[in-house]
Protein backbone atom coordinates (compact mmCIF):
# COMPACT_ATOMS: atom_id res chain seq x y z
CA UNK A 1 0.00 0.00 0.00
CA UNK A 2 1.45 3.33 -1.00
CA UNK A 3 0.75 6.58 0.82
CA UNK A 4 -2.65 7.87 -0.23
CA UNK A 5 -3.72 4.59 -1.85
CA UNK A 6 -7.40 4.03 -2.50
CA UNK A 7 -9.71 2.03 -0.28
CA UNK A 8 -9.83 -1.00 -2.57
CA UNK A 9 -6.76 -2.60 -0.95
CA UNK A 10 -8.24 -2.06 2.50
CA UNK A 11 -11.54 -3.62 1.39
CA UNK A 12 -9.58 -6.64 0.16
CA UNK A 13 -7.80 -6.93 3.51
CA UNK A 14 -11.11 -6.66 5.37
CA UNK A 15 -12.56 -9.39 3.17
CA UNK A 16 -9.57 -11.65 3.96
CA UNK A 17 -9.98 -10.98 7.68
CA UNK A 18 -13.69 -11.87 7.49
CA UNK A 19 -12.88 -15.13 5.65
CA UNK A 20 -10.27 -16.17 8.24
CA UNK A 21 -12.69 -15.43 11.09
CA UNK A 22 -15.37 -17.54 9.36
CA UNK A 23 -12.91 -20.45 9.02
CA UNK A 24 -12.33 -20.22 12.78
CA UNK A 25 -16.09 -20.02 13.43
CA UNK A 26 -15.80 -16.53 14.89
CA UNK A 27 -17.35 -13.15 14.16
CA UNK A 28 -14.89 -10.41 13.13
CA UNK A 29 -14.27 -8.09 16.07
CA UNK A 30 -13.15 -5.26 13.80
CA UNK A 31 -15.15 -2.83 11.70
CA UNK A 32 -14.04 -1.62 8.29
CA UNK A 33 -13.43 1.87 9.71
CA UNK A 34 -11.28 0.47 12.54
CA UNK A 35 -9.23 -1.52 10.02
CA UNK A 36 -8.77 1.53 7.78
CA UNK A 37 -7.56 3.60 10.73
CA UNK A 38 -5.20 0.84 11.89
CA UNK A 39 -3.74 0.34 8.39
CA UNK A 40 -3.14 4.08 7.97
CA UNK A 41 -1.43 4.31 11.36
CA UNK A 42 0.75 1.22 10.81
CA UNK A 43 1.62 2.37 7.30
CA UNK A 44 2.87 5.71 8.58
CA UNK A 45 4.96 4.03 11.28
CA UNK A 46 6.53 1.49 8.91
CA UNK A 47 7.23 4.13 6.23
CA UNK A 48 8.95 6.37 8.78
CA UNK A 49 10.92 3.57 10.44
CA UNK A 50 12.21 1.88 7.26
CA UNK A 51 12.21 4.94 4.97
CA UNK A 52 10.02 3.29 2.31
CA UNK A 53 7.02 4.50 0.30
CA UNK A 54 5.14 1.21 0.09
CA UNK A 55 3.96 -1.05 2.91
CA UNK A 56 2.61 -4.55 2.33
CA UNK A 57 0.00 -6.19 4.55
CA UNK A 58 -0.99 -9.81 4.96
CA UNK A 59 -3.52 -11.64 7.10
CA UNK A 60 -2.18 -14.49 9.25
CA UNK A 61 -3.75 -16.79 11.81
CA UNK A 62 -1.54 -17.17 14.88
CA UNK A 63 -2.61 -19.28 17.87
CA UNK A 64 -6.23 -19.22 16.70
CA UNK A 65 -6.28 -15.43 16.29
CA UNK A 66 -6.45 -13.44 13.08
CA UNK A 67 -3.52 -11.02 12.83
CA UNK A 68 -2.63 -8.27 10.38
CA UNK A 69 1.08 -8.11 9.56
CA UNK A 70 2.80 -5.06 8.02
CA UNK A 71 6.01 -5.29 5.98
CA UNK A 72 8.13 -2.59 4.33
CA UNK A 73 8.53 -3.00 0.57
CA UNK A 74 11.58 -1.61 -1.18
CA UNK A 75 10.97 -0.31 -4.70
Model confidence at 41, in pLDDT bands (50, 70, 90)? very high
CA dihedral 4, 71, 46, 52 (to 10 degrees): -70
For residues 44 and 62, what is the distance between their CA atoms, to the nearest angstrom?
A: 24
What pLDDT digit, counting tens, does each position of 55-70 carry? 999 999 999 999 999 9
Question: Would you say residue 6 has pLDDT above 70?
Answer: no
Residue ranges per structural domain of the chain: 8-73
Answer yes or no: pTM beyond 0.75.
Answer: yes
Amino acid sequence: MAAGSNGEAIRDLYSQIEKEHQKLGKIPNLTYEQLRSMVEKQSEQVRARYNVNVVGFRVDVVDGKVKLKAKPIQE
